[in-house]
Every structure is written in structure tokens, then in C-alpha cells.
Structure 1
Amino acid sequence: MSDQSAQAEIVRNSLKRRYRKERRFRLYGILAIFIALASLFILFADIIGKGHTGFVKTTITLEVVLDSELMYLDDPTDADQRSMADFSAPIIAALQEHFPEADSAGEKRELGRLIGTYAASEIRDLLIAKPDLLNSTQSIEFPAHDRVSVYVKHPDNSQYSIKLSEQQQRWVDELLEKGVIDTSFNDVLFSRGDSREPANAGVLGAIVGSLLTMLVTLAIAFPVGVAAAVYLEEFAPQNKITDFIEVNINNLAAVPSIIFGLLGLAVFIGLFGMPRSVPVLGGMVLALMTLPTIIISSRAAIKSVPPSIREAAEGIGASKMQVVLHHVVPLAMPGMLTGSIIGMAQALGETAPLLLIGMVAFIVDVPGGFLDSATVLPVQIYLWASSSEQGFVELASAAIMVLLTFMIIMNALAIWLRKRLERRW
């Protein structure tokens, strides 16, 4: 009995140790999940905290007298006169209506710096479009200068007011009280391309460039990836050559993305002489990067189709090609689509390969086709984040939120497609 009791005690102690290890392991798992969620929360809080003001624009609405004598302009349709005209003068005069005491040359310059640098261009474009407005009074909304915008958005933070003089701060505060300066949703962010001034910069050009680039990537990577997966899984003989190909596909999935950028630089630009910074080139480079992911996921989806499907189709006289195209591929398509969308989402967030092929250029115009110069959202974020101006830092965080929204939508679409189309055997 004593031996049995000792053995039972050993078993109980062993079970206790095992249960303690299981509880510790469960605790470690919960702790890991908590750390991951906390890190994600901190990341999103930082991005939203910096970027929410990027969705707000600051404007100054003035009653501007388009005086021909003040602008030295008699005929707005005359290009020579326009080149010599002073389109800033009526704006400063409109500001002086609120501050008549600002009559010296220095104070006028200080007043002019409250308005964005493209305000004079707005007056010029307005008169070119409607010459009859010359010598009339118009209520015009101008974007505020970046320093004014930052000061208005962060009134309680002294570090954002140091770029304005005390006199300018008093003027801005008075204009805010009068309702001349106002804030609203930043529609410019989604209606324009890049600009040298934050108040006129938008992500529309980068969004269109990303969509065009992704279309090229999808058009190349999806059919080629699915065809390669079908061949390797259903038709290729099992020999050293196919083993070599499979090993290299798996290795390519782990290659750093910048290597594909170097490949595109050497082959597409250096060898074939393709133009830099166009969606076609970017899409081809990203297609090379995405291909291994699509091939691997498509092969896994094909393997998941039960052998009984193939045997049933062959049993009623279907050929190998008919079995694959009519039965295997349609049943594996949900997994293929899921892997493709995830691969596309990964490509959407890539920056390094596109920097090497010139898509880091400053692009103002929204691209209208696959061969127009363009940039993409990750590169646009890189350009803005590297700027020292606070307005561009806000825009970079806002663009990150836009990019994350696209990626979340794409991943949610992949999950929905898998749930919607998958079949349980």
C-alpha cells in the first residue's frame, strides 16, 4: 500500500506541475495578446491624434475689391498685362479693412503672410475665367497660411504659435472673433494632388496612382499566379526541376521588397528603357513581388479540394483539363481570391521598390492613365513625413489613416469572400 500511495503522490505532484505549466502558458498567451492590442491601440491613438487635424482646413473669407488700378490691370485677357499685374494687392487691401492701422510696408507684408501663397493665383484665375468681374467686389474664400492654420487648430499649444509674431497672433484672434477665419472639412485633401503648400495639398493624385498601379498588378499577378499554381499542382511531373521551382517560389516569398525594386530598375528601366514613375512600371514591379504569395495561396486552395471531386469527375468521363477547369479551379477559387487580395493589400503598402523606380517624384497633377507620371499613397506619406512643416506632418498622418482604411477594406473583403464562397466538405 505504501508503494501505491507513493506512486499516487508522484502522479498528483506531476499533474499539479503540469497544470501550473498550462496556467502559466495560458497567462503568457493572454499577456501576449494584451501587449499586441496595447501596441496597436498606442499606434492608432498616435496616428489619429496627429492626423485628425489633417481633415480640417482653415479658410479666410474676405470682401475683395478687384480694383484695376490697384492691380495695374486693365484687360485680364491680356497675358502681358497679367504677367505685370499685382494680384496680391486687393487681398492685402481687404485685410486692411479689418486693420486700418496696419498701413506701413512691414505691416502690410505681415498681413499678407496670413493668407496662403496661392491666393494671388486664385484672383488671377478668377479674372481669367470671368473678366467682367474686374472692378467689382467679390466675397472670396482663401486658404489660410500653414502657420495660421496650425495656430488655429492648436490654440492651447504654445509650440504651434511661435512661428507667428505677436502682432499676427492678435490679428488672427480678432479675425476668429469676427468669423472671418473659419475651419471646416478639408475637401482639398480628396480633390487635389500634391503641392508645395500644405493648405493646397491633397491625396487624390496618390489615390488614383495607387488604384492604377494596383490594377496593373492584379492584371499581371492574378492570372499568372493562378496558372502557375494549377500547372505545378495538377500537371507538372514530380522531378528535380519542379522541386527546384517550388523551393525558389517559397524563397521568393521571403525576399525583401527592395530587391524587387532593384530588379525593376535593372530590367524594366535599364534594359527595356521604360519611363520612370508611371503606374505600368510600378504595377509590374509589384506584380513580381506579389506572384509568390498568390502562387502559394492558390496551391494551398487547390490542395484543399477533396480527391473525391476529381475521382467523381473522372468517373463520368471528364478529361484531366475538364476536371481541373470545371471542378477543381471553381472550388478552389475562394482561397485563390483570398490569397490574391491579401497579396494586393501587402503590395498597396509597399514603398521601397517604388522609390527605386522613381515614383518618389513630386507629382502635382492627378494621373489620367497608366502611362502618366504618378505617385502612390505610401510614397506620398513618405514625402510628407520627411517635411519639417507641421502642416505636412498632419497630412502624412491623415494619409496614413486613408491608407489603413483601404487596407482594412481589402482584408475585410478577403474575409467576406472566404466566408461567402467557401464550402465545407
Structure 2
Amino acid sequence: MNILLKNTTIVDSSNKRLHLKKRDMLIKNGVIDKIASKITPPSRTKIIDHKNLHVSAGWFDSSVSFGEPGYEERETIENGLKTAAKSGFTDIVLNANTNPVPDSSSDIVFLKNAAKDSATSLHPLGTLTLKGAGTDLAELYDMKNAGAVGFYDFKSPIENANLLKIALQYAQNFNGLVHSFPLDTKIAGRGVVNEGPVSTKLGLKGIPALAEELQIARDLFILEYAGGKLHIPTLSTSNAVKLVSEAKKKGLDVSCSVAIHNLFATDDVLEEYDSNFKVMPPLRTKKDAKALIKGLKEGVIDFVCSDHTPINIEEKRVEFDNASPGSLGLETFFGILNQIFELETAISLLTKGRARYQLETPSIKEGEKACLTLFDPMAEYTFVKKDIVSTSKNSMFLERTMKGRVFGVICNNQIVN
């Protein structure tokens, strides 16, 4: 298959010769064949010539949930990967929150095989513990050999400190990446939103920032003692950023991420008791959002993720207290991120993170495999239900203005647009 991108602006800050230059790009059989000011297409070539077409290396998302197996009514792997591709993502890390959870090598093989013919590559996480129950370590080494890129009991904190210590020590034998969700459940109690003036006003039980920060402080002490590689997913508080910053200054091998919605929305939006705004960790304050954005700019927070979590309607159309937490994030990721940061910073954030998961980072060079995202950074539109590709429709960004439209991806010798 031949594809010609006409008059496209290349966004690649690692390549000063091409960065922000307009070029034609010819792709033959999945490989970038030629980049030049003008290219005459060979016969039987698909020509892509969108107004204000931009291209970057394919985007990466470190926290995506689907449903299959067990929750296919939320999202199948096939439609989930289609959603990711149409949203601009060529690589996603899949969370371990299916039924049953992936806690063995055969589970990882199933997930990899289910995604093998897709334009978007799926990189599964295995659970850290058997059945995600937090008691005994799962088959970490076998899962790593089967293709797991890390280990994570999704949104379930590791309450047993000794278990985390042992996991970090054991995973060093094969360079495994241990995830630890930052929540002290005793402090959080039955909270459902950020603890503060808004939770008091609305009469909702609060989760104090302390619940996140205590767990992070504990985990970092254990990491300093045990060694190993630790990833803290979806920070949400300003003091959490400070704790990670201090740990990195000590030389600890720790990384962290933040969900896009925690940069954009705050607990002020909860006035209508809309369960689409119920997420975990909860939406915090403007002070927290500013600190998270600053943490990304300074490199303390390693990457931003969609934390894409499809939830079916029966679990959202209930009282706020009883609703399942989670919001869609893939379809709106770029349209929101592009409002918070300048374009070059946004694209840098969208293309970083693979190295932490020992994945190859794509580049825009002749002779390299084409792994590209196509987009228009200036297009503005209102995000409505018909724009949702996911099976579930639980997006907190409905009726919001988006800045930037994604045309699709070219990857794995396929095009999705």
C-alpha cells in the first residue's frame, strides 16, 4: 500500500531539519520512503491532502481501559483499538481491570493475540497480585516474558507494605516495572470526591489529599530501601508532585503520570451531581491542577494519560455515591491537552513515555517504519455524543469546546482515518 501525505507540517522537535516544515511524505508498504518539498505519487497511491494537515510521531497513552474479557458491554478490544486509532494513538498500555484479570502468561497472550492485526499496538499490564486481590504476587516473570510491560492492580492500592517491598526486589531480576496506586484506603474511607469546601457544600463524603500523599510517601521510602523501578499512576495533588520531585533528586528510579481530566477540571464542576465527573483519584482544586501542569512542564511528572475508562450506562445513571468512577478520555485527549499547552509541548507529551515501558520510540525518517499521527491543531469544534467512538458514552467532556481535530493514524502498515 502506497500513501502520500501532501503538504503536511511535520511536528518533531528532535529533528531540527524537518521540525515545523511543510513537506510531502511518501509511505510504501508501511515504511517512510521519501520526505521532500514535492513528490509525484506513483500509481495506485492513496493521497491524503487535508487542510492544515500536521503529522507527528505516533502518540502514546500509558493508561487505557477497555472491557474484554468480562465487560464487553463497556468496550471490546477491537472497538477500543479503533477508538484509540481514531483519537491519534498508535500505542496504548492496557490496564489490568478485566474479568478475570490478567494474572498469568496465558492471559497476556490472549490480550496480545486479540490485538495483533490492529493499527494501534496494545501493550498489556498484568496484575501485581493473584486475582488482583493484594495478597500474593502474581506470575510476574512469566507475564513479562509473554509481553506484559508492567504490573498493576488497577486503582487498588498495595496495602501490605512488605508485599510492595518484595515485588520491587523480585522485579529487579528481569527489569520489571511495578505500579502502585496512590491511595491510603483508611484515610480515604468511603469518600467519593475531593475533601474540601465543595464536598461539604454538596454533602458528599470527601477523600483528603492526605490519602494520596501518605501512600506516596510510604511507597517512596520502600523504593529507597528495596531498589527497583516504581511507577505511580495518576497523581492528583500538589504535595504529591513535591514528594516525587524530592525522590527524583535522591536518584530513585520512580516515574509518575497524571490524568488529562485532573489538569483541566476541578471539583467546582460537581454542582450538578453529574456522575461523569466521578473519577478516581477525584477532581481536586485549582491549586492542585496548576501544580500538576507545572510538574509536567518541569519534568517531575513524566507523562500525561487519558485514564480512559468506559463505564456502561447502568453504572453511571445512579446516585452519585453509588456510581462507578471513570470517564472516557481518548477521543478528547488532544482537544483538551492542546488548550492547556503550546502545540510543541502538547506533542512532546503525547509522544513520550514509551521508554519507561521498554518500548521502541518511533521517528520520522526515511527508511523508518511509518508510525504517525495526523491532525489539525487549529480546528475547533464542540464535542458531542456522535463524536464518541467508544461503546460506552460516559465522557465528562460532552458539550466542551475542543481545540484540534485528529484525522487518524498510519501504523503497522495500516491507515485509520
Name the TM-score, length of structure 1 as normaliser.
0.25
> Larger % of helix: which?
1
- With the length of structure 2 as denominator, give the TM-score of the two structures: 0.25
Larger C-alpha radius of gyration, 1 or 2? 1
Relative to its length, the structure with more strand (as a share) is 2
